[in-house]
Each structure stands twice: as C-alpha cells, then as structure tokens.
Structure 1
Amino acid sequence: MVHSFSTISVTPLSSALGAELDGIDLSQPLENTQFEDIQNALFTYGAIGFRDQTLSHQNQIDFAKRFGTLEVHPIVKGMEAHPEIIRMHKPAGTPASFGVGWHSDNSFFEKPSLGSVVYAETVPPVGGDTLFANQQLAYDTLSEGMQETLDGLVAIHSAKQAYTSPTALEKYDSDGPISYQKSDVIEKFVEHPVVIKHPTTGKKALYVNAMFTHHFKGWTMEESRPLLEFLCAHATREDFQCRFKWEKNSLVMWDNRIVQHAALNDYVDYDRTLYRVTLNGTTLN
C-alpha cells in the first residue's frame, strides 16, 4: 500500500518496517517540507530507501548533514578526501566481512551513532541484500513480565570482540579494500539502557545486539548469557524484518536507535562497492 505524504510517495517494504520513498532528487537541496517528510518517514519506518539517485560524494554528505553532524570513525579509515565517508568495497572472489551479522552501528560508543546513509556504486547481479529488524516491535512483543524485568536494566557494550576477530585483525593498517587503525575505543566498556526511548516519538525499543553487547551491569557473563541470547534471537525474528535489495544509484538510510541491520554474505563471486556516511548520536535514555 502507498502512503501519501505532502512531497513524496512512500511504499512500505514489509508489515514490520522499512519503506521506499519516491518523488525526491537527493542531488538537489531539500526544501524544509521535503526534509520534514523524509524525517517523518525515517522515524515511522526505521529504514528508508531511495532509487535512481545520481549522487556525488558531496551530495551524499550534504544530504546526511541535514540530520546532524557527521562522524569520523575512530577505527575504520575513511576516504582520504572525505574522511567522513567509509568506502565499503567487497572484491569479487572474497567473502563479505564488514557489517555481516546483526548489530546496531557503534553501540560501543558512549554516544552511539544516530544512523547511517549508504549509497550504492557497484552491486552484484544477485545477492548482497541488507536486512533490517524493528527493535520497537521487538520490545512491544515481549511479555509484560519481561518488559518489567528489562526496564531499568543496563547493558555493557564493547567493540573488543568484533574488532579483534581474525577477519578484523587482517584489516589493521592494510592496503586492502577496507582498512582499520588502532584506537583506545576498542578496549572500552560503555553502559546503555537495555530499553531506550526514541527522543522524537517517545516509543520504547530494545537496545542489545549480538555483535557489541557484552553483559548486563551487575551480572556475571555466565548469568547474562542466557538472557542475552534470548533477546538477540528475539530482536531479529523474521516477522520483525524487511529486506532491501541494492541497485546501482540506490541510497538507504536507517535510524540506528530503532533498527538493527545485517549485511548478507551471499555474493562471493561478485564485486560490491557502497559508501557509508554515519551521523553522530546522543546519549541514550
């Protein structure tokens, strides 16, 4: 079903979340009413996609800046001319190893990323889709007893496991398609509520992920593991998901506070190049 906004048309991707937006050229400056429609669609659907957008790196940066300031990742190296842009290149013949697995971007930051804006330059003929999962729906479908248990609970997040895995270690100071650099943030442990409220809509969302959530504050890892495993499996249930199929010149943006995402590793024979710009976030409440 197509939902009408004042300046765009919106076509949902699934009953759980996600939508494609049409009627806007992102290479041109956005009028305030256009931006408000896009922002409302983002908060409503969690992840929004645009097709047939011919964008320069500066166009992508300018669009993202309408939503806030841009981060320069402390670990993943950006482009030399545009340090706020990460070139996510997966060469043909190699498996995907960046962004694979369910996660919320940079939940190991004290102020996790608000969201990301990703633009496709080269895409495989098959495979390489990205999945998104609705974390507000994940919270809403928990039992009343589980919601009461989680409200007020705090989780510890860390980048250490994800950024010291064998595939990650290969990327440090390499000349490969994606390169990492050492950072003190890898060793840090940060605290975030297990249940957060969206600052605009006020809706509650589950905020744990398998990639970066380490344990619960005041709990041992052994005590934390069963509940974390349940929550991470629940958070990414198939009925909470949508799938975005990449096409050349498509752009996707998501609200990192209310969705998790996962890149699929199912196109080993093909090349793919995406460009990611990420928005600085705020303290989670």
Structure 2
Amino acid sequence: MGVQDVLEHLQRLGLSGYEAKAYVALVAAGRPVNGYEVAKRSGVPRSTVYETLGKLVARGAAFELRGASDATDYLPLPPASLLDRMRREFDGSVAVLETALPAVVAEPEQHMIHNLKDGEAMLARAEDVVAGARRDLFLSVWPEETARLGARVHEAAGRGVDVSIMSFGSGADANGSGGALPGNVYEHRYSAPEAVLEDLGYRLIVVVGDRREAVVGGFGADGSAWGIYTADPAVALMAAEYVRQDIALQLLADRVGAAELDRLFATDPGLLRLLGRTPSNH
C-alpha cells in the first residue's frame, strides 16, 4: 500500500485532505518538526499549514512542543493510538446511530427499486444485503462473484442466518481459503453451468436477504454488468422463489436422474407449453 492509499483511507476515517497529508508528514519525520517543514514535506500550502496543524492538535492527532525560543514544533499521536481512538469513536457513533437514526426515518411512500450502474456497485450492494440479513439468505452465484461475497456469507452463517446457495461451480469457498461455502450449498449441474451461460449470455446473480430486499443482475463476458436493488418485499419474495425453485429442480434431477427430466421436458405438454416448445415426434 502506497502513501496515496494511506491518505485516502485517513480521509475515509474523517481527516481532511490537508490534515491527512500533514499527519503522514509528521509520522514520516520521526522527530518534532515545525510548520514550515511540514508544509515542505507534505505539500500542504504554507498559508494553511498552521491552521491544518491546529486542527490536528484539536482532534488529538498531534501535539505542540514549545521550545525556549517560543518556536512551535509538532509531534504526531502514534498511528496505533490514532487508529484505536478512531475505532472507538466510530463504534461509539454507530452505537448511537443504531438507536437515533430509526427514530427519524419516515416510512417510505413506495418501496425502493433502483438501478446499479456497474459491477462494483452491484457487488457492493449485494454485500450490504448479505450483511443485513438476520433470518435467511438465498443466493444464486457464480465463482467470480462468490470471490467477493464469500467472507460476508460466512459472517452471516456465523450469526445464525439460514443460508441457501445455488452455486454455478464446485461450491468452493470464495474468500480464498479453499474451504466450503457455509450453509446449504447446491451445485448447479442440471443444466451444466456452461450451457446456462451459453443460453443466457451472462452470469446471473441473485442475492436475497430475509425475503425483504434483493439484488438481481448479470455479468457479461465482455465485462459489462447490469442490475437492480429492491426493497420491495413482493419482488424480493419472487427472487427468493426463483432460487428456491432452481434448488428444487436440482434436487429433483439428483433424485430421478437428468435423463428422466430431459424426457419429461421433451414430452410433457404442460412443461412444453411453459417452455414455448412443441412436442417431440420421438
């Protein structure tokens, strides 16, 4: 991780851009330094460096050292202490907001459905759905997507969420450990994943939490992606039923055999009508 990554993460935790640069400069100096040297090391303008250092001192991320000549040098709060303080403040704010935010939330006039602009947005929203589940999770996923979601699914299973997964792959854990995904995992063999991919033209992802919110989308072979998030319980229920029916079909294929299912799909009038096909002459 480079300095730019460190600066970006410090800003995510509440420091301004100048504050992050000044703090990193103090840490990198390894000794007390004055404002002029902080400006030179950090790129913070000299016109604002003392204001920036004052803000770091006010938040406890730096300390002033006054010498005999009344010159002021600065020392940083050690990184471990700063991060521990930020963690405590963050956890404290979250604890307060868990009670305070629901009290000010108005009931939505309509259930939310919105588009997800790209694959990253879709996977981030899917992570939110998995992290928010408290009762059950239904997932229909491919290895490329479980690589991102696997750790969150493990966390959900660890807090007692009932997990059901239709896996278009071996069911290997997606988080890099090589172990098994948690919960009830069913490998999609009827039809084979490559046949499904050829038929659809994309990898379909369905993630449903507590049958009240869902992410549904697709990933194309060309890197394109489309998807939606919905908190409409009717749509979420339908998405969960899609996964449940796919699992049921796989269980049926395991029980009676793929050949028998193929025969039924080729000859049964009701199935043929649903599939938009005409009866075979054979």
User: More strand per residue: 1 or 2?
Assistant: 1
The structure number with the bigger radius of gyration is 2
**Relative contact order (C-alpha < 8 Å, sep 6+): which is higher?**
1
TM over 0.5: no
User: More helix per residue: 1 or 2?
Assistant: 2
The two structures have a TM-score, normalised by structure 2, of 0.22
The two structures have a TM-score, normalised by structure 1, of 0.22
